[in-house]
Amino acid sequence: MSMSSESHPITAIDSRRAWECPWYAVRQDRILLPNGSEGVYNVVELPDAAWVVPVTTSGEIVLLRHYRYPLQRWIWELPAGSVEPGGSAEETARRELREEAGGKAAAWHLLLKSATMKGVGTEWAHLFLATGVTLGATAHEPAEVLTVHRFPAAEVLRMARAGEIEDAISVLALLLAEAHLG
């Protein structure tokens, strides 16, 4: 293609922190557009995050039933969480599997790295397949209102395609994992 992947047709003239909380921030940039006009771009600055498709030693998939306050509803989803400062996506995947689901895996495989908020924010999702998973005790934070469940893999894939798993990135991870399931 004629466009280089390295070219940056929109550039920042100025940048300031518009708002922040302990979990994310909004950066407000004054930008220069290709037509020479100026604009404002507000970028939600989020760390990367990891999602885990946990397949147990008996071939079941672990799902969480999680109350998601922003959606005001209980949804089915995979263990997932944000990368902490200095941490890696794979460490995060191991931690979330352990803390949210009480799980430990024999093997890990990166399925995909993909942007979740392309027009709005900076988050990249790292999607992992975890196999040989065994379940033990969980370690939930007070704001994590969830329970741990396991279903046959075929049933979870049916739920994903039917819209019964309402977290889009969980559905993506499950569809990508399908090719790896026996």
Choice between 17 and 132, CB closer to a copy of itself = 17
Question: Does the footprint of a copy of itself cover residue 16 (CB under 8 A)?
Answer: no
Asked if residue 128 lies in contact with residue 90, where contact means CB atoms within 8 angstroms, the answer is: yes
Beta-carbon contacts of residue 70 (< 8 Å; ≥ 6 apart)? none
Choice between 42 and 88, CB closer to a copy of itself = 42
How far, in Å, CA of 47 to CA of 65, rounded? Answer: 24
Query: C-alpha angle with apex 171: 44 to 114, nearest 5 degrees?
Result: 45
Q: By CB neighbour count within 10 A (0-12 exposed, 13-18 middle, 19+ buried), where does 137 fall? A: exposed
Give, as ranges, the residues between 30 and 89 that touch a copy of itself (CB under 8 A): 31, 33-35, 37, 39-44, 46, 65-75, 77, 80
Using the contact rule CB under 8 A, the part of the chain among 87-95, 96-104, 141-149, 150-158 near a copy of itself is: 141-149
Element of type H or E holding 66: strand 60-68
Site of interaction with a copy of itself (CB under 8 A)? 1, 3, 5, 7-10, 18-19, 21, 23-24, 26, 28-29, 31, 33-35, 37, 39-44, 46, 65-75, 77, 80, 112-122, 125, 142-143, 145, 147, 161, 163, 166-169, 171-172, 175-176
